[in-house]
Amino acid sequence: MSEASNAKSLFHKSRRHFLLRKLHSLSGVLPVGGFLVFHLWTNAKALQGQERFDGAVAEISHMPYLPLLEVGILLPLAFHAIYGVKLAFEARLNVGKYPYSRNWMYTMQRATGLLAFAFICFHLYEYWWQKVAGKMAADQFYPTLCEKMSSVVGGVPVIALVYLVGIAASVFHFANGLWGFCFSWGITVSRRSQMMAAVVFGVLGIVVFLLGANTVFYFARGATLFSSAADGARTCADALASAP
């Protein structure tokens, strides 16, 4: 192969890699990141009782063109996850040699990406796939979440802890990914704008994590970390008491 052919091949390979990285970054923000926030917000309706939670799930189930919307989320999610795993295993982590803050963030981004991938697969199988396969109706989500989150092994709420770790990994990956998106797309060019973006997205990440953690704590313990459940609403205790 001539030098010109080698150079052309390397150019196309570099360009393809560049475009894939851009698409990977973009898909992490929309639709994947947006859906993460929307999903945690919808699940927080559980604090208002089973009827409100079931109503929110029913609204989504009856949305027009729902299968197309699900494909529009699952395909970018699959691409982001698979290409992200590839990037994670190809990454040359040297945080021990260069313990700078952004180097730590880069390492954490790769690690939380793998954790989030495993957690999302587990969550999708537990609920979305069971619904698609006809093994679980939408109105069974609430009591099933109550039962699994509140179950303990040796006094430890294992599933609830899995969800807390999974949500933490997913939210960190999203929030830190927003910083990377703004940097790689040329939105935050100056050092000052990058520092401001780090603060804004850090606060956003904390708020979104607390939103998810509050719901997990409610399902696991019937109480909330902050705010309060709706008075007179059908709670987890009621759902478990009436379960067959």
User: Token digits for 155?
Assistant: 């006094």
Confidence of residue 237 (pLDDT cuts 50, 70, 90): low
So what's the pLDDT on residue 84?
Answer: 96
So what's the pLDDT on residue 12?
Answer: 74
pLDDT digits (tens, 9 = 90+) for 166-180: 999 999 999 999 999
**Residue ranges of domains in the chain, CATH in brackets:** 3-241 (1.20.1300.10)
So what's the pLDDT on residue 96?
Answer: 77
**Which among 108, 121, 103 is positioned nearest to 166, based on CA atoms?**
121
Question: In whole angstroms, what is the distance from residue 202 CA to residue 183 CA?
Answer: 15
For the residues 74-99, what does the mean pLDDT come to?
90
So what's the pLDDT on residue 114?
Answer: 97
For the residues 94-116, what does the mean pLDDT come to?
90
So what's the pLDDT on residue 199?
Answer: 97
Question: In whole angstroms, what is the distance from residue 233 CA to residue 236 CA?
Answer: 10
So what's the pLDDT on residue 219?
Answer: 95
pLDDT digits (tens, 9 = 90+) for 116-129: 999 999 999 999 99
Beta-carbon neighbour count of residue 206 at 10 Å? 13
For the residues 60-87, what does the mean pLDDT come to?
95
> What percent of the chain clears pLDDT 70, i.e. is strictly above it?
91
For the residues 179-206, what does the mean pLDDT come to?
96
What mean pLDDT, rounded, does the chain reach? 91
CB 166 within 8 A of CB 67: no
* Residue 111, pLDDT above cutoff 90: yes
> What percent of the chain clears pLDDT 90, i.e. is strictly above it?
78
Q: Is the dihedral of CA 137, 141, 146, 149 positive or negative?
A: positive
Q: Is the dihedral of CA 95, 101, 106, 112 positive or negative?
A: positive
What pairs with residue 153 in β-bridges?
Answer: 156
So what's the pLDDT on residue 75?
Answer: 97
So what's the pLDDT on residue 232?
Answer: 58
239/200: higher pLDDT: 200
Helix ranges (DSSP H) in 30-96: 32-43, 50-61, 66-90
